[in-house]
Structure 1
C-alpha cells in the first residue's frame, strides 16, 4: 500500500511541474490546445472525447495537483498507514481528484457531467467515511443537495441538442437566457450559495485531509469554475444573483461568529469566500473571481491542515472552547495557521490581499448602489471578526484541556505539507498577480475610499477582540438559535414559535371561539406542527427521500 501511495504522490507531483511549465508556455504564446480523441467509431456514429487546455485550465490543474500531493503526504500520518481502512480512503481520494480533473479539462457538457457526478457521488463516500449516525445524515444531505443541482445540468445537456453540439465554448453568445439560469441554479447547489447552504457545514463529518481538498480546490469550487467557463454578457449586473451572493457572505459570517466547532468555522469562512467569488462573476469580473479562487485554495487548504494537526494532537477535540495557549506547545503549526488566517482577512501583501482587494476596488469603481456598498464592506469586517475570535480562543485564551494531556511539535510528514502551503500562501498571490497582468489595471480613488478595505479590517479586528472579552457575549443564546442553524428550518421555526407563543396566548382571550381556531391559537398550533414535520423530515431514513424524488420526477416529467 505504501508503494501505491508513493507512486501516486510522485505522479501528482511531477504532473504539477509539467502542467505549471506548460501553463507558462501556453500563456506566453497565447495558445489554446484542443485535443479530440475518438472513443468509438461505427458508420455514422462517432463518440469523441475532448480535452481543452488553455491558461485557465492548466493553472487550475496545477493547483489541484499541488494540494492533492500534499494531502496524500499529510494523510500518511493523519489517517494511519497500517490501518486497513486507509486502502478505502486512498482509492476514494484518487477517484475524487480524477473527477475534478475531468471536469476542468472538459469543453463538452456531457464530459463535464462525468466529473460533476463523480464529485457528488465520491463526496458522499468521503463524508460517511467514519460510519457514524451523524456522518450518514450529513452524507445524505450532501448527496441529495448536490443531486438537486444535477437536474439543471441534465436539462441543459438535453437543451443544447437543439444547438447542434455540446461544445458550449463555441455557442456562448447564442444560448437562451434560461440555459444560463439553469446553470446558475446547478452551480449554486454545488458551491452552496444561500438557498442550498446547509450541506457545506455538515460535510465536515469527512476526515480533515478531505475537508482540506474539498473546501479549497475541488468540490465547492466546481460551481464557480463552471460559471467562469460559461460566462457571457448575460451575467452582467444581475441584481437577483448579486443579492444572493451578498446574503451568502453575510449569513455565513453571522453563523461563524456563533459557532464553536473548529472545522465548522473554517467551512463557513469557505462559504463566505465562495459568495465573494460568485459576486465577482455577476459583477462582470470573471478573471478576478478565478484569481481569488486559486489564491484562496492555497491558504484555505493550509488552514484545514493546521486545524487537523490541532485535532490530531488534542485527543480528537474540535471545540475551540477547550483549546487555548496552543501556540506555547505547537509553535510551528500555530504560526502556519495564523499565516492562513491573516491571508483570509486580506492583510496587505499576502496572497489573499491581491485577489480580494482587486475585487473590492473594481466593485467600488463600478458605481453600484450605496446599500450594496455598505453591506459588502461590512462583510469584510465580519471576516476579520470571526478570524480574531478564532485566534483568541485557540491561542490567547487560557488552556482548557485535561491536565494530563501533553502534546508538542515534532517534525513529520504533516509538517512538510503545512510548510509548503505556508510558503505558497505568502508568495502565490503576488506571483500570479504578475503572471495574469492584473497590475495593468489602473483605478483612481480618493484616499479614504482607497483605505476603506483596510479600515474595515482594523474595525473587525478591534470589535472581534472586544466581543471575545464580554461575558454575556451579545445575548448569546438568542443569537445562537437565530444564526447558528444554517438554514435548518427546524431551528428557525422553533425560534419563531418560542417568541410568538406568549404573544398569541395573550391575544387569544380577546377573540371568540372561531377566532381562536382560525386566528392566533390556530396559527400557533400550525407553526408547532410545521416545526415537528421538519424535525421528522430531517431525521428520517432514505425511503422518504426516494419516495419524494420519485413523486416529483413523475409530477414534472
Structure 2
C-alpha cells in the first residue's frame, strides 16, 4: 500500500512543480513576446538527418502548465477515489502516458510529431475508457476509438498534402498558404480531424459514451486533454481556416453542437452525462468563436473552461463515490446537509460554468458573447449563441435543484459525507483557480483591457437569457419526463432532444445495422453455404464417401471377386 501511495505522491509532486514552472515561463514569454524553437537531432542515417523540432511560446507553455496542474490535482484525487483498485499503479501510469501524449501534441510545430501525440491520445483514451471491463465500457471504447480514427485518417491525408509546401513544419507556412487548392485541402482535413477529436456534429455521440471511464479520467479528458486537442489544433491553424472559406461551415456546425448539447442536457438524468453534454456545449462555443477569427478568445475560454470543468467532475465523482456508484440525480437531494464542502465546490464550478460575474467563466464567456454581438452574424448564429447560454444556465440550475437543494430521495443506508481528505484537497486547489483563474488569465493574455461598446439591450442580453434559463431550470426540475405510451416514446420531442437528435442511434446502430446484417447473410449463404458445399467441406465429404466405397471393396474382396465372376459367367451364358 505504501508503494502505491508513493507512486501517486511522486507523480503529483512532479506534475505540480512542472506546472508552476510552465505557467511562470508562459507569463514571462507573453510579457516579452518570446518564441523559441529547439531542434533535437534524433539520428543521422546516411544523408537523412532526422530532426524533431519543439516549439515554446506563451501559447504552448501556458496550456502545458494548465494541463500539468489539472493532471496533478486529478492524480491526488485518484489516490482516494481509486483506493480500492488493485491496479491503481497501472491506472496512474496510463494517466501519465495520456498527459505525455498531450504534451507532445502541444509543443510540436511539426505535423509528424503532432501525429504521435494525436494517436497517443486516441490509443490511451481507449485503454482508459475500457478500464472497467464490461460490455458497456467496451462498446463506449470502440465508439470512441473508431470516431477518432476518422480524424486520424484525415490528419494523415493532411500530412500528405503538406508535402506540396516543402516541409511538415506548418508554423512556417500557415500564414502564407493563401487560397491554393493544396491549402484548401489541408484546411479541410484539419477541420475534419478537429471535429472528430472535439466531438462536433455529426461526431458528437462518442463524448457522452466515454463516461464509462473512471471519473478522474473524465475530469482530465473533458477539461484539458483529449477533447481540447481539436480546439488547440484549430487555434494553431486559425489563419488558414479563416482564409480558406470553411469558417462559415465551422460556425454553423459549432453552433448546432452548442445548441443540441445544451438542449439534450435538460432531458438527462445521469450526472456524468449532464456534465459531458455541458463540455460538448462549451466545445461548440469555442469552435464557433474560432471560426470568426478570434483565436485568443477561444484559447482564453479553453483555459478557464478547463479549470471549472475539472472541478465539476471532481465534485461529481465525490458525490458518486459517496452514493455507492449511483449516478442518477433523481436518487439524490439535499446534499448540502451531508456534504457541505463538496456542495460548495460544486456550486462554485456550476456558477463559473454559467458565467457568474467575477468567477473564471465570466471573463471569457461574457467577452465572447459581447464580441459576437459586435460582429457581423446572421440571426441563426446569433440565436445559437444566446439560446445556448440560456440553456446552459437552465440545465445547471436543474442539476443543482435535483442534487443539492431538492428534497431527499436517497436510500437511508447510504453513508454520504466529506470523508476523503485527498479528494477534498484536490477540489480546494481547483476552487481557488476557478475563482481567481479567469481574472489572472485576463490580465496576462489581454494586458490592455478590452472594451466592447454595445447598446443597452445587447449589453444586458446575456444576463437576461441567463435569468430566464435559471427560472426555467428550476421549474423543469419538477417534471419527471415519464411516458406510458411506448409506441410514441421514440417519436416524442423530449426523446428527440434528450437523445442528441438521435445521433447515438444514427452513428452506432444506423451505421452498423445494414453492414452487419449484410455480412450475416453473406456469411450464411456464402461462407457457410456455397463455399462449404464446393470448398473444403464438400471435397471432404466427397472423397470420404469414395474412400469408404474403396475400403468396403477391400474388406470384402473375396465376395466381390466371386460376385463379379458369377456376374460375368451369367452374362456369357445369357449371350
- TM-score tier by shorter-chain length is 0.7 to 0.9
2:457 corresponds to 1:448: yes
2:413 corresponds to 1:404: yes
1:44 pairs with one of 44, 47, 52: 47
Cα distance in 1 for residues equivalent to 2:401 and 2:461: 25
Q: 1:534 to 1:428 in 2, by over 3 A?
A: farther
Partner residue in 2 for 1:380: 389
Partner residue in 2 for 1:484: 498
Superposition pairs for residues 238-249 of structure 1, below 5 Å? 238-249=247-258
Whether the 8 Å contact between 2:256 and 2:384 is mirrored in structure 1 is no
2:419 corresponds to 1:419: no
More deviation, 9-18/227-236: 227-236
1:62 pairs with one of 53, 62, 65: 65
Whether the 8 Å contact between 1:489 and 1:534 is mirrored in structure 2 is no
Q: 1:157 to 1:130 in 2, by over 3 A?
A: same
Could you tell me which runs of 5 or more consecutive residues in structure 1 were left unpaired when the two chains were aligned: 494-528, 544-557
Whether the 8 Å contact between 1:216 and 1:296 is mirrored in structure 2 is yes
Superposition pairs for residues 183-202 of structure 1, below 5 Å? 183-202=190-209
Cα distance in 2 for residues equivalent to 1:399 and 1:218: 36
Superposition pairs for residues 172-191 of structure 1, below 5 Å? 172=174, 173-174=176-177, 176-191=183-198
Whether the 8 Å contact between 1:145 and 1:196 is mirrored in structure 2 is yes
- Return the offset for 1:489: 5.5
Q: 1:303 to 1:28 in 2, by over 3 A?
A: same
SS at match of 1:451: helix
- Return the offset for 1:253: 1.0
Q: 1:490 to 1:281 in 2, by over 3 A?
A: closer
- Return the offset for 1:531: 10
C-alpha offsets along residues 254-283 of structure 1, whole Å, 9 cap, x if unaligned?
A: 111111100000000000000000001001
- Return the offset for 1:404: 2.1
Cα distance in 1 for residues equivalent to 2:8 and 2:476: 46
Report the RMSD for the aligned CA atoms in angstroms. 2.4
Partner residue in 2 for 1:22: 25
2:224 corresponds to 1:213: no
SS at match of 2:404: helix
Q: 1:318 to 1:534 in 2, by over 3 A?
A: farther
Q: 1:166 to 1:388 in 2, by over 3 A?
A: same
Whether the 8 Å contact between 2:204 and 2:503 is mirrored in structure 1 is no
SS at match of 2:361: helix
Whether the 8 Å contact between 1:128 and 1:138 is mirrored in structure 2 is yes
SS at match of 1:52: strand
Q: 1:83 to 1:114 in 2, by over 3 A?
A: same
Superposition pairs for residues 323-362 of structure 1, below 5 Å? 323-362=332-371
More deviation, 218-227/159-168: 159-168
SS at match of 1:39: strand
Whether the 8 Å contact between 2:387 and 2:465 is mirrored in structure 1 is yes
Cα distance in 2 for residues equivalent to 1:38 and 1:230: 26
Q: 1:51 to 1:471 in 2, by over 3 A?
A: closer
Cα distance in 1 for residues equivalent to 2:496 and 2:439: 39
- Return the offset for 1:30: 1.3
Whether the 8 Å contact between 1:485 and 1:492 is mirrored in structure 2 is no
Cα distance in 1 for residues equivalent to 2:415 and 2:238: 52
Partner residue in 1 for 2:131: 129
SS at match of 2:370: helix
C-alpha offsets along residues 510-541 of structure 1, whole Å, 9 cap, x if unaligned?
A: xxxxxxxxxxxxxxxxxxx979936968xx9x
Cα distance in 2 for residues equivalent to 1:51 and 1:422: 33
Cα distance in 2 for residues equivalent to 1:199 and 1:532: 15
C-alpha offsets along residues 449-468 of structure 1, whole Å, 9 cap, x if unaligned?
A: 11110111001001111222
Superposition pairs for residues 150-169 of structure 1, below 5 Å? 150-169=152-171
C-alpha offsets along residues 355-379 of structure 1, whole Å, 9 cap, x if unaligned?
A: 0111111111112112321232111
More deviation, 20-29/475-484: 475-484
SS at match of 2:41: strand
Cα distance in 1 for residues equivalent to 2:226 and 2:511: 32
C-alpha offsets along residues 112-137 of structure 1, whole Å, 9 cap, x if unaligned?
A: 00000000000000000000000000
- Return the offset for 1:338: 0.6
Could you tell me which runs of 5 or more consecutive residues in structure 2 were left unpaired when the two chains were aligned: 524-575
Partner residue in 1 for 2:172: 170
Partner residue in 2 for 1:53: 56
Q: 1:223 to 1:437 in 2, by over 3 A?
A: same
2:297 corresponds to 1:288: yes
1:301 pairs with one of 310, 317, 334: 310
Q: 1:241 to 1:412 in 2, by over 3 A?
A: same
Whether the 8 Å contact between 1:343 and 1:350 is mirrored in structure 2 is yes
2:441 corresponds to 1:435: no
- Return the offset for 1:328: 0.7
2:282 corresponds to 1:273: yes
Cα distance in 2 for residues equivalent to 1:96 and 1:489: 28
More deviation, 236-245/62-71: 236-245
Cα distance in 2 for residues equivalent to 1:439 and 1:426: 21
Cα distance in 2 for residues equivalent to 1:492 and 1:184: 22
Q: 1:456 to 1:437 in 2, by over 3 A?
A: same
Partner residue in 1 for 2:140: 138
C-alpha offsets along residues 217-266 of structure 1, whole Å, 9 cap, x if unaligned?
A: 00000000001011115426732211111100011111111111000000
Count of equivalent residues: 505
Whether the 8 Å contact between 1:128 and 1:206 is mirrored in structure 2 is yes
Whether the 8 Å contact between 2:260 and 2:501 is mirrored in structure 1 is no
TM-score (norm 1): 0.87
Whether the 8 Å contact between 2:307 and 2:433 is mirrored in structure 1 is yes
More deviation, 143-152/235-244: 235-244
The structure having more radius of gyration, on CA atoms, is: 2
SS at match of 1:195: coil
SS at match of 1:220: helix
